[in-house]
């Protein structure tokens, strides 16, 4: 097999050398910036083509291996959906350099030989059985007729860019000029598979006991979570179609994606750059984000951490589930340090100051005193300072604010937190919400199907899981 393959590659290189020789004279006459730009672009285009030809030759040889075909077909038949032989199909495979080649591979299709009840299936509606599968392509990671390297490039560009249009433009400059429908299909197929795999892993991990060893064992672990905003599109199922587009209307209410961040700090409370943080996000509810959080902590050995620190804003859904988190990890809730983000606490103080009608200078003096008490962690003194405003008609409004500080009193020991090197800010998750959600999913005119938003959140979270993606304490 090696000799014919090598001969084929050598012929491709010989053709490349002929093309190169034919253009050398023209390229050597370049004397200005535009000519040099064209020269470099043409050279790289030729080398991309040569790379694709070599990869195509190798893939044809690999796909023709009968052992691979037998093993891949046997593995595909073990899937939940019963499959049967569908013969062989010629498929067009897309490569990283932007070109394609054809290969004939085995095909399995869903076994639907059992009689079906009800009306006959319409064209294009495959039902629960889904489409068939080319087992050898699946075994090599070739999904949606795209090689793994091409898929990785498309996924990176579409998750890193601030819009699909910007990603398509970047891919075209890279030589990947497939139509936009194809590019979207490759990206979302990968994202949906990644999401399904992630959720299966979460379920399996949470069904097991927490690991006593791992990268978080013996570390000071900071856990923080928050929500963002994006608009989820729900297409109307009935109603008159529009004359121009023939589409029905849709609604796009605001939804709150949930984001989690796990990172480590040293004894002074500074984030450890040697430990890559964990980021993830979901369009599901608070129970789902906590299930994901517990799975990551279990798998990474957080049950044996030196210290667990939860930093967040005042959202009740976060603090109500800290006990659930501690129980799942096998630690007592009293051993978990809970911190209310200082910025949100100071915002609450400013909201109190908006209730009374002040004389000139009084509001500033009151706020100065209140913020000093807050910063020093004298919350009982702060509550007394707030209660001094609860007179007359404003007593009820002030009483509601007092309840906020009484509920979070133990989470506002900021002077003690500073002395112990405990982070006092949820800036890490606020920064991630901005980078993962707001800069990609939240914008004028952006309306997402739920499953597409779910996939984009997952991929973008993993892309942004770098230390420089975080805000500073």
Q: What pLDDT is attached to residue 123?
A: 58
Note the pLDDT tens digit of each residue in 434-444: 999 999 999 88
Tokens for 89? 């199909």
Is 275 a residue whose pLDDT tops 90?
no
In contact, 263 and 222? CB cutoff 8 Å: yes
Cβ 459 vs Cβ 189: under 8 Å:
no
Between 230-244, 267-281, 308-322, 376-390, the lowest mean confidence (pLDDT) is in 230-244
Q: Angle, to 10 degrees, between the axis of helix 322-329 and the axis of helix 286-299?
A: 30
More confident residue, 473 or 410: 410
Q: Name the helix (H) or strand (E) containing 84.
A: strand 83-94
Give yes or no for residue 376 having a pLDDT over 80.
yes
> What pLDDT score was predicted for residue 471?
42
> pLDDT of 214-240, one tens digit each?
999 999 999 999 999 999 998 877 777
- Between the CA of residue 320 and those of 288, 328, 336, what are the distances in Å? 14, 14, 13
pTM (two decimals): 0.88
**3-class SS at 65?**
coil
**Average pLDDT over the chain, rounded to an integer:** 90
d(CA 258, CA 433): 9
In the predicted model, is pLDDT for residue 472 greater than 50? no
Res 339: pLDDT = 97
286 token code pair: 């608070």
pLDDT of residue 180: 95
pLDDT of residue 125: 54
Q: What is the pLDDT of residue 104?
A: 95
Q: What tokens appear for 95 in the block?
A: 């490569």
Name the pLDDT band for 80 (thresholds 50, 70, 90).
Answer: confident
The per-residue pLDDT for range 131-179, each reduced to its tens digit, is 789 999 999 999 999 999 999 999 999 999 999 999 999 999 999 999 9
**Percent with pLDDT over 70 in the chain:** 94
Q: Is the pLDDT of residue 105 over 80?
A: yes
Phi, psi of 35 (to 5 degrees): -65, -40
Contact yes or no for 230/437 (Cβ under 8 A) = yes
**Rounded to whole angstroms, how far apart are CA atoms 433 and 133?**
37
């Amino acid at each position: 097999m090696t000799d014919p393959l090598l001969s084929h590659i050598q012929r491709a290189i010989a053709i490349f050398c002929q093309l190169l020789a034919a253009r050398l004279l023209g390229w050597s006459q370049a004397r200005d910036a535009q000519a040099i730009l064209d020269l470099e672009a043409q050279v790289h285009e030729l080398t991309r083509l040569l790379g694709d030809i070599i990869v195509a030759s190798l893939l044809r040889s690999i796909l023709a291996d009968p052992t691979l075909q037998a093993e891949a077909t046997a593995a595909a038949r073990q899937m939940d959906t019963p499959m049967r032989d569908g013969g062989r199909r010629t498929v067009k495979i897309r490569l990283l350099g932007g070109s394609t080649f054809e290969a004939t591979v085995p095909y399995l299709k869903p076994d639907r030989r059992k009689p079906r009840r009800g009306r006959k299936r319409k064209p294009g509606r495959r039902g629960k059985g889904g489409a068939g599968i080319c087992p050898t392509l699946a075994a090599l990671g070739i999904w949606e007729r795209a090689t793994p390297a091409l898929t990785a490039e498309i996924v990176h560009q579409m998750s890193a860019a601030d819009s699909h249009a910007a990603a398509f433009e970047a891919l075209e400059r890279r030589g990947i000029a497939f139509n936009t429908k194809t590019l979207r299909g490759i990206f979302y197929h990968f994202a949906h598979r990644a999401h399904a795999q992630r959720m299966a892993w979460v379920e399996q991990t949470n069904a097991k006991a927490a690991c006593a060893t791992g990268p978080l064992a013996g570390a000071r672990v900071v856990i923080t979570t928050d929500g963002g905003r994006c608009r989820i599109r729900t297409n109307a199922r009935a109603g008159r179609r529009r004359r121009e587009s023939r589409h029905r209307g849709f609604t796009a209410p605001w939804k709150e994606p949930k984001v989690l961040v796990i990172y480590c700090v040293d004894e002074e409370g500074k984030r450890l750059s040697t430990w890559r943080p964990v980021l993830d996000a979901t369009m599901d509810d608070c129970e789902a984000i906590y299930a994901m959080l517990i799975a990551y902590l279990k798998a990474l050995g957080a049950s044996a951490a030196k210290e667990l620190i939860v930093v967040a804003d005042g959202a009740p859904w976060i603090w109500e589930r800290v006990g659930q988190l501690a129980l799942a990890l096998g630690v007592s809730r009293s051993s978990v340090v809970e911190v209310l983000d200082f910025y949100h606490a100071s915002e609450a103080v400013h909201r109190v100051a908006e209730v009374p009608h002040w004389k000139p200078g009084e509001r500033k003096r009151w706020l100065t005193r209140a913020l000093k008490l807050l910063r020093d962690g004298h919350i009982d003194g702060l509550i007394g300072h707030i209660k001094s405003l609860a007179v007359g008609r404003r007593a009820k409004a002030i009483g509601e604010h007092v309840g906020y500080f009484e509920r979070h009193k133990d989470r506002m020991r900021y002077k003690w937190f500073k002395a112990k090197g405990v982070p006092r800010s949820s800036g890490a998750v606020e920064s991630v919400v901005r980078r993962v959600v707001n800069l990609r999913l939240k914008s004028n005119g952006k309306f997402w199907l739920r499953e597409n938003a779910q996939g984009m959140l997952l991929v973008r979270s993993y892309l942004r899981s770098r230390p420089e993606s975080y805000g500073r304490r």
